[in-house]
Structure 1
Amino acid sequence: MSKNDRYVVKHPKGWAVKGAGAERASSVHQRQADAERAAKQVVENAGGGEVRIQGRNGRWRDSDTVAPGHDPNPPRDKKH
């Protein structure tokens, strides 16, 4: 566990981004995908670490390692 790690967890107002051991959320988002993007951006800016994502059922559903300079929102190919 790194000090840069962030967690996307359920929150009464949607989905929260929290640091390890933090009681308060650093940000709250209506959509889980938005919280995940925000968490990855924070971790990238902090020099890399891990983002863990909680599912709707409260269990951890995913984990991503983010390296410095990683683009959390790579361009997508458009299909016509």
Structure 2
Amino acid sequence: MDKVMRFSSNKEVGVFSESSCCLSYTVSVLLQEFGINPPVYEIDQDPDCREIERGLVKLGCTAPVPIVFIGGKLMGSTN
């Protein structure tokens, strides 16, 4: 949960992603087309990936990825 809070609160826009997720890639490209180059946290590249996923669920995320935060506020997924 600590990693989730640190990443999401220190960014104007941040995306939690998985390296093999096509929707995560699409969200990142869409944001870039609006002139936003968000930092992307690849959950599956972190040894604590299950802990991060549990932390995101505690914050109210129902879909696994992509999860978008803007100004520290959970915006949600592609749903």
* Larger-Rg structure: 1
The structure whose RCO (Cα within 8 Å, separation 6+) is larger is 2
Normalising by structure 2, we get a TM-score of: 0.30
Greater percentage in strand: 1
Normalising by structure 1, we get a TM-score of: 0.30
Greater percentage in helix: 2
